[in-house]
Each structure stands twice: as structure tokens, then as C-alpha cells.
Amino acid sequence: MNSGITYPRGFKATGISCGIKKDNKKDLALIYSESEAVAAGLFTTNKIKSASILVDLKHLQRRNSQAIFIISGNANTCTGKKGIENSQIILNLLAPLLSVEKEKILLASTGKIGIPLPVTKIKEAIPKLVASLSNDGKSAAEAILTTDRKTKEISFSTGIFGQGKREVRIGGMAKGSGMIEPNLSTMLAFFTTDAVIEPEALREALREAVKNSFNQITVDNEESTNDSVIILANGEAKNRKIKRETKEFKKFSFALKKASLHLAKMIVADGEGAQKVIEVKIEQAWCQKDANRLARAVAGSNLVKAAIAGSSGNWGRIMAALGRVRARLNPDTLDLFINGILVFSRGEKQVYQEKELQKSLGQKEVRIEVNLHCGNFSSSFFGCDLTEEYVRINKE
Amino acid sequence: MNSGITYPRGFKATGISCGIKKDNKKDLALIYSESEAVAAGLFTTNKIKSASILVDLKHLQRRNSQAIFIISGNANTCTGKKGIENSQIILNLLAPLLSVEKEKILLASTGKIGIPLPVTKIKEAIPKLVASLSNDGKSAAEAILTTDRKTKEISFSTGIFGQGKREVRIGGMAKGSGMIEPNLSTMLAFFTTDAVIEPEALREALREAVKNSFNQITVDNEESTNDSVIILANGEAKNRKIKRETKEFKKFSFALKKASLHLAKMIVADGEGAQKVIEVKIEQAWCQKDANRLARAVAGSNLVKAAIAGSSGNWGRIMAALGRVRARLNPDTLDLFINGILVFSRGEKQVYQEKELQKSLGQKEVRIEVNLHCGNFSSSFFGCDLTEEYVRINKE
């Protein structure tokens, strides 16, 4: 059975090498819908934006798209007018080969900033790319990676049925690694679905899903210039059209959220040099902003991340990270648990087995829970540990 | 000649080992003024504060002090009521030995959080500590260190003269290393001066000095629970009393600023694992807040810091760090210089010798300058590179 972005009906995909990356590694990907699809996208809030994103913001005004062309290894960012011109050259070549208007093609890119696209190489590869479209999403999922170690794919059913009991499906793929931080990151995620859905409903579902997944993860507190999350809905399940504020919408939205969270966690687990996933849960905070800020501060703290890399029970670093946040917090009423072990409460270190704590820190997942006992808001945030490997990767 | 905190007249100091640190490393320090001194202090804004700081905030209400007792290796933070009680035990023992009221002794501590003070060891060592007070500041400067590699001292003349042409002097010592971040850090700095100065003037001078030095540096974006900057002014130079808004005040304030900046730069250069100092200068920003935020974001970016550790000319990371700041910024009017080489201007990469850039990045100091061409405000920020060594130190 097809998996990932080709799991929903009517989608094809491919990934090939055009020579941007060394050693014949795949660096171009294409997602194609056999019929026109409703499209929605969310992009980085970084003021420095890739030319790909500038193109998308324009194309998405039309709401319909049929393909996504992805370049990996070159960000096409800080490339000035030339960057936009190069995007147009690609679109002009690709559109007739796919028999779609060029405004119905979206772009995404990731990689080094400030280097002009090797447009000749890309042009030469495009016919081959189009010819290799297939029902297998795997090669596209490989092509979009940069320093990622693993592909990240998801296939999800929504519990909504269309004509002939065809279940509405969602497929997805993502790349992450460094520069992962809320408000998206050098994080690309692409979703496909065969749902029939209103454009507004699709946008809302995407916004909700991203808020609770990709915006709740951090690898290194960096926000990239190229972060993009795009979804295409081609209606091939022929279900009754999903509109906002309906039971079907809730089901669809829930499924997209689950799929997004799944990919987001895969991104964190595959963060540059990461060996452990850290989940930080803040409970009973004064307000939502406080909860989010505190969770993010702990998950993003270099000292906390390094301590967890070393399986160190140095929870003082967690306290220090919490204390520097602009949020309501009283150390005398705060409970701090690490992997379920209460280490700090009512202003003092608690009695616990140091060995037990250290052993539990050796696991692949570390859970930090903080109960502030001062309100009703909670927030979860996912991060990863900081290892020498992260520095090694980023020194290059 | 005496240097550091014993450079001004009438100050003695010492540092010894009481067994908090391993291998007989010095871990207790004492600064003592032969006469009562005007005191001022600035402390972390972290909501989790050391018991030492809680004591100081109370003692400083009286404005006069005569001694500072410093513990290194144990933060006395998150130690609840016991932490305060232990502080009182120390003060009760120390005060009669120094013949000063205990409210005229200030405390500072740095080290691991959440561990009760080994108060018996400290009590046993206090008589020896007092007996070893001398005109040499060196042993105190050594005792306050934690993961620092080098002592940090400064001796400074102010250009103000008192009785018998005695020049008003400023002395200082500091410790830094990890957790260095604006609004102070696990950063301790102590200044002594023989100036006769109004308490308000001393406080204002200290505030100004810290704002332009210790609050403009970052090692790892962490703010500690123990950051303290304390100054004692004992009046032994017998100059005409320095009051605010006078020529003498300007001279004194300028000297203290210079001394602070000197220590701040030493802290950054000796940041955990650091091999290079990074100076980030933002020019022609829309407002002061924008300039500060942008400078801090670049100096604190893990990706920028790792790139500089690897002498990599990957300036795209600087652009990405700038772009994610909430500040006015237009990539089309921005100039970016690295070590004086214009690498990006008017939205595009500039022509420059890659080899020349890379060679210059091999130096001990890296200068990043950004001209936004959109206002009149500027800011400088100092940071250090991110190396595998930083992670290694903090995994322990």
C-alpha cells in the first residue's frame, strides 16, 4: 500500500538527484495531484524569507494548486532579484510538462543561504523528475532531507467516509534537523489529503494543527528563513464537503493534528545530534502565555539540554530556566517532577533515590513536569538534548 | 603593588579551601574593608534567587557594609528555610571575628543548586579565613572561580584626587563561565573603591556600568539564580565627596564602566569551552530596543556560535538570526560585515574573497557589524563561540 504523501488517492510524488548535493544524493522532490486541489500554507515569521516562500504567498492567493516543487541543499534565500527570477525559470519549464498553470505550482526550498540556485542543473533534471512521478512517496521523503538521519512520513485515516465507503485519508512528510523552533523552522512539512473540503476549513485545520505540533517543538531556538507547511486537498474521496464547525470538520482537524504531532515528534527525535526527546509539561500556570513561555524556556535551555545529554539529575538548571521567564512563579508552591520522580517541592529538594533518577534519565525519552499551583493553564513542549554532535555538525 | 580588589586603600582579601571543592581547591573568599564602606549591589532578575541574595537585599537597605563573604561550589539556592538558616549561622560566626555587625556583611555564592551548604566545613574554616586576610587580592580572585579557566581582576585609576594627591582607585574581580546572559548571570563581580561618594551616586554609577557591560554579554542565553555585582566604597582616598551630576561623578562613572567592561570581556573570553570572542555591533537601528534585541539575538544564536567555532563564513545564519527578532529590518537595505568584509548588501551576497574571510575567522576575535540604515540607534553585544567543549563541561 502507498504510504506518506501518496497514501491519499490521486497523488503522485518523486525525488531525484540533480547534483546540488554531493554523492548523487536526492535533492529535488515533486508532489503532484492528478486533479486540481484546494491548497493552504503556513510559513516562517522570520523577516528574511526564501524566494520560494515569496512565490507561494502570491500563488496561494488563488487557493488552488496542483503541485509542489521542492529543492533541498539550497535555500534560495538572500538571493535578491535573481532568486525570484530563478524560481520563475523553474516554474516556466515545469508548468507545461505537468500541464498546469505555473501559478498552480508551489515551491519550497531548504539548505544553505545566500548561494544562487544552480539553475542549469535543475533545468536539466526537471523532465526526468516529472517522468519519474509514481505512487511511491518514499523517494520524495528522502529528497527533502538535509542533515536529517531518517525520513519522516505519516499515513492517517480520518474516520470520515465518502462515495463507496472511501475513507478520507491524510498523508504527510517532513524534514527538520537544525534550526527547529516555534513559528516553524528549517522545517518543511507537506500534507496531502483526498478530502473534499472548503478552503477556509482547510486553512483553519492547518493552523490549528501547526499550533499544537510544529510550533511546540524546539531543537536549537533558531527560526529559519524557509519554514513551510503546505497541504493540498484534491477531493478524490468524494465525501460530503467538509465545512467549518461541523462534526466532520472536528474529525478532520483532529486527524491532521495527530498527523502533525507525529511528524513534529519525529523531527525532534532526529534533531541534529539528538539522542533523547525531552517533553516539558507545565501545569496549573496563571495564563496560557505563562505556560507556553515556561515550557519553551526549559525545552530550549542549553544547560538543561546538555545535562540531559549527560543523564545528569542537575534539576537546578531547570529551576534556573523557569525563574528567568517573565511569568508568574513562586518557588515555594512549585512541584518539579523528572520522569515522574518528585525532586523539588515547597521550596526544597525532596528525598528521592539519586540512582533511580539517573537510571531513568538514561532512557530515550525524558519527561519534565512542573506544577505551578497558581492557575488553570497548561502547555507541552518537545525538545531534544544537546550533544557534542550538534556542535560538530554545525561547525562545518 | 596590590592589584584587583585590594588595589584601593584600606581593603584586604583572602581565599582558602574548606573542602566544598575537590582537590583542596579554594572555595571560600572574603573581602574586608578596614573602615565602614558605602555599599551598592545589583542582583539577578531570575525569580529563583539564592539565599545569599535574599540576605543581601535585606542588608543593603542599611547602605553600609564592611565585608563580603563568598562561597564557590555551592549556590545555596533552592535550599528553602535551611538556606537562610545556614547563612545566619555563617554570619553569626563571622561578625565577631571581624568585629562588625552581621548586617554589615554581604554574601555571595555560586555553584550547584539545591544542595544544602556543608555548614560544618564552612564554620571550621572561618577563623582561618579571617586570619589569612592580606593585601593580596589574588587568592580571593582564585577562590570565587568555578569552571572558569582564569582569574579575572582589574585595577583602575579614576583621575580624581583626594587628600595628599591620593588618586581615587577602583579594584575589581569577577567569575563567569556558563550561564552568562544579560540581566546578570552565574556571574559574580565585586568592586572596591577608596572613593568618598554619596550612596545614591554609587548606586547610579554601578547601574550604568552594569548596563553597559555585564548586561551586554552572553555565553549561553541562561540567566542564573545567583548573579551578583557588589561595590564597596570606603572613602580612604579622602577626596571631596562625589555627588551625582558633577564632573567628578562623570569621571568615576566612566572609570567604573571601563573596569566593568574589562571584566565582562574577560568573562566572555573565558566562557565554558569558548575559543573566540564575538562582538556584534548593530548600527542605525530604528530604536534602542531593536538594536539591543538584534545584537543579542546574533550573539546568542547557537548556529552562529557554532559556525564561528568552525571558522565558517556561513553568514546566512546571521541573517536568519536577525530576521527572527521582533524589530524593524529590511533585508534590501541592510549591510552585513564580518571582520570588516562586506558579505551582504542590498538583498544580495557581495563579491569577496572567501579565503580571506575564512582566514580572518580563524582569529581570536570576530566582529560582526550590521547596518540597518533605518534609524539612529546602535548597540554592541559580546558573546563567544559554541564548541564541543561547552557540551562536554555541561554534561557532567
How high is the pLDDT of residue A123?
A: 97
Q: Can you give the pLDDT at residue A1?
A: 56
ipTM: 0.73
A394 known ligand binder = yes
Quick one: closest CA in A to B44, which residue? A324
pLDDT range class, residue B177, cuts 50, 70, 90: low
Query: What value does the mean pLDDT take over residues B235-251?
Result: 96
Q: How many CB atoms lie within 10 A of CB A335?
A: 17
What is the torsion angle, in degrees rounded to the nearest 10, for the CA atoms of residue B115, residue B117, residue B120 and residue B126?
Answer: 150
Neighbours of B155 (CB within 10 A): 18
Q: What is the pLDDT of residue B184?
A: 39
**pLDDT value of residue A222:** 61
The list of chain A residues with pLDDT below 70 reads: 1, 177-185, 218-223, 396
The answer to whether B6 is a known ligand-binding residue is: no
Contact A222, A187 (CB under 8 A): no
The least confident of A18-27, A219-228, B30-39, B156-165 is A219-228
Predicted confidence at residue A314, as pLDDT, reads 84
- CA B205 to chain A, closest CA, distance in angstroms equals 25
3-class secondary structure, B97? helix
Residue A219 backbone phi and psi in degrees, to 5: -105, -45
SS (H, E, C) chain A: CCCHHHCCCCEEEEEECCCCCCCCCCCEEEEEEEEEEEEEEEECCCCCCCHHHHHHHHHHHHCEEEEEEEEEEECCCCEHHHHHHHHHHHHHHHHHHHCCCHHHEEEEEEEECCCCCCHHHHHHHHHHHHHCCECCCHHHHHHCCCCCCCCEEEEEEEEEECHHHCEEEEEEEEECCCCCCCCCCCCEEEEEECCCECHHHHHHHHHHHHHCCHHHECCCCCCCCCCEEEEEECCCCCCCCECCCCHHHHHHHHHHHHHHHHHHHHHHHCCCCCCCEEEEEEEEECCHHHHHHHHHHHHHCHHHHHHHHCCCCCCHHHHHHHHCCCCCCCHHHCEEEECCEEEEECCEECCCCHHHHHHHHCCCEEEEEEECCCCCEEEEEEEECCCHHHHHHHHC
CB within 8 Å: B349 and A78: yes
| Identity of residue B106 | L
CA gap B17, A113 in Å, rounded = 52
The residues facing A189 across adjacent strands are A174, A229
Pairwise CA distance, residues B296 & B305, whole Å:
12
Contact in structure between B338 and B396 (CB atoms under 8 Å): no
Q: In what order do the strands lie in the sheet with A277-285?
A: A348-349, A341-345, A335-338, A365-371, A277-285, A377-384
Answer whether residue B220 shows pLDDT above 70: no
Q: Tell me if B36 sits within 8 A of B64, measured CB to CB.
A: yes
Catalogue all structural domains in chain A, each as residue range(s) with its CATH number.
4-267 (3.60.70.12), 277-395 (3.10.20.340)
Determine contact, residues B93/B255, Cβ cutoff 8 Å. no
Worst-scoring range by mean pLDDT, A171-175, B41-45, B266-270, B391-395? B391-395
Cα B209–Cα B148–Cα B263 angle in degrees, nearest 5: 20
Of the candidates A75, A77, A301, which has its C-beta nearest B222's C-beta? A301
Distance CA B300, CA B381 (A): 9
What local confidence, expressed as pLDDT, does residue A72 receive? 95
Q: Cell for A47?
A: 523577516
Q: Alpha carbon A378 to chain centroid distance? A: 22
Residue A13: its pLDDT value, please?
A: 98
What are φ and ψ of residue B296, in 5° steps? -65, -40
Question: Closest chain A residue to B388 measured between Cα atoms?
Answer: A388
Q: What is the pLDDT of residues B71-97, one digit of tens each?
A: 999 999 999 999 999 999 999 999 999
Task: Judge residue A141's burial from the number of C-beta atoms within 10 Å of its C-beta, 0-12 exposed, 13-18 middle, 19 or more buried.
Answer: buried
Question: Of the candidates B226, B215, B214, which has an alpha carbon nearest to the alpha carbon of residue B260?
Answer: B214
Q: Which of B44, B47, B53, B227 to mutate to test the interface with A (most CBs of A within 10 A)?
A: B47
For residue B223, the model assigns a pLDDT of 67
Per-residue confidence (pLDDT) for residue B182, from 0 to 100? 40
Q: What is the pTM of this model?
A: 0.81
Show residues of chain B in contact with A222, CB under 8 Å.
301-303, 317, 320-321, 324
Q: What pLDDT score does B387 carry?
A: 87
**Grid cell at residue B16:** 582558602
Question: Looking at the partner chain, which of A301, A310, A395 has a beta carbon nearest the beta carbon of B310?
Answer: A395
Distance CA A307, CA B179 (A): 13
* DSSP at B350: P
Cell of B56: 543581601
Cβ proximity of A371 and B367 under 8 Å: no
Task: Supply the DSSP symbol for B272.
Answer: T
Looking at the DSSP bridge assignments, the partners of residue A37 are A65
CA distance B194 to chain A (A): 35
> How far apart are the C-alpha atoms of A194 and A214, rounded to whole Å?
22
What is the rounded CA–CA span in Å between residue B123 and residue B90?
Answer: 7
Catalytic residues of B: 186
Given an 8 Å threshold on Cβ–Cβ distance, is A394 in contact with B114?
no
Looking at residue A186, what is its pLDDT? 75
State residue B181's pLDDT score: 47
B114 CB neighbours in chain A (<8 A) are 315-316, 319, 344, 349
* Residue A311 and residue A362 in contact, taking contact as beta carbons nearer than 8 Å: yes
pLDDT at A182: 40
Provide, as residue numbers in chain A, all residues whose Cβ is less than 8 Å from the Cβ of B112: 314, 316
Phi and psi dihedrals of A337, rounded to 5?
-115, 140
**Min Cα separation B6/chain A (Å):** 33
Selection from B259, B285, B272, B288 nearest residue B383 by Cα:
B272
Q: What cell was used for B71? A: 562561597
> Are B48 and A322 in contact (CB < 8 Å)?
yes
Work out the burial of residue B238: count CB atoms within 10 Å of its CB; fewer than 13 is exposed, 13-18 middle, 19 or more buried: middle
Contacts of A109 in chain B (CB under 8 A): none
How does B176-202 read in b/e, with b if 16+ C-beta sit within 10 Å?
Answer: bbbbbbbbbbbbbbbbbbbbbbbeebb
Share of chain B above pLDDT 90, in %: 73
B218 annotated among ligand-binding-site residues = no
- For B320, the 3-state DSSP assignment is helix
CA-closest candidate to residue B118, choices B126, B106, B128? B126
- Can you tell me the distance from the alpha carbon of A174 to that of A151, in angstroms, rounded to the nearest whole number? 8
